[in-house]
Structure 1
Amino acid sequence: MPSKGKDYIHRVNGPAVICGDGSIRWYVDGKRHRLDGPAVEYASGTKHWWVDGKRHRLDGPAVEYASGLDLWYVEGKRHRLDGPAVKYAGGTKKWYVDGEQLDTEEVEEWLEENKVDLTTEIEQMAFKLRWL
């Protein structure tokens, strides 16, 4: 059963909040937190990954909206080294490294000119070094 501490919601082995519309939320020590899947799942299909109260996911977008918008976060900051950190359903992209937004046109020109496809760690490090 979920338990309320002094001022927070907490449950270790399942969702701490189950809403009437079917949305579910995982909390540990009052923070949105789940290691093995999204910590928030809305009835609409939108999903949010949180770890220790911060948006965080290493193997995909930390926020997946049912509308097709995807947002990548690492430790609460918009961040992605192997592609744009924001992808809109209509195709618009935005690039971020460690929470800093980059100029999309400039990034895509640099990738094209240098024939970088960001699939290896070396290319990702070169990308990070270039843009920070």
Structure 2
Amino acid sequence: MTIDSSAPRPRANRLESPHPTGGYDQMVTWPNGNVSYLLRGQLHREDGPSFVGADGSRSWHRNGREHRENGPAVFCPDGHHQWWLEGHQVSEAEFRRRTGH
């Protein structure tokens, strides 16, 4: 296998300490336009989506697991939403029952 050293590489910005409101220590911009926010190498962000796709998708993670307490944790480009708590997918009804939202 050969590796094309001229292929576009992700651009990573590492912070000296976690972001004061976002809690992440690295932001990675991928050649395809996707953006990931990481804490110790895992998707993590406290003040917004931890993954923003160039296609319009967005997802929220805490410590590498899908999680959001004030709305759907996953937004797909086709308009589909998914609710997740602590890495477990739940129905919208279960989400509302457990979070009061």
Structure 1 gaps, min length 5:
1-18, 112-125
CA RMSD of aligned residues (A): 3.1
CA separation in 1, counterparts of 2:66 and 2:88? Answer: 8
Provide, for residues 80-100 of structure 1, a one-character-per-residue CA deviation record: whole Å limited to 9, x for no partner. Answer: 011100001111000001111
- 2-side partners of 1:42 and 1:72: how far apart? 18
TM-score w.r.t. length of structure 1: 0.56
1:39 CA drift (Å):
2.5
What TM-score, normalized by structure 2, do the two folds share?
0.72
**How many angstroms apart in 1 are the aligned matches of 2:17 and 2:81?**
27
Higher relative contact order (CA 8 A, sep 6+): 2
Structure 1 runs of 4+ with >4 Å offset: none
For structure 2, the 5+ residue unaligned runs are: 1-5
1:24-63, aligned counterparts within 5 Å? 24-26=11-13, 35-36=18-19, 39-63=27-51
How many residues are matched?
91
Task: Indicate the structure with greater helix content.
Answer: 1
* Superposed counterparts of 1:75-114, under 5 Å: 75-104=63-92, 106-107=93-94, 110=96
Q: Which structure has the bigger radius of gyration? A: 1
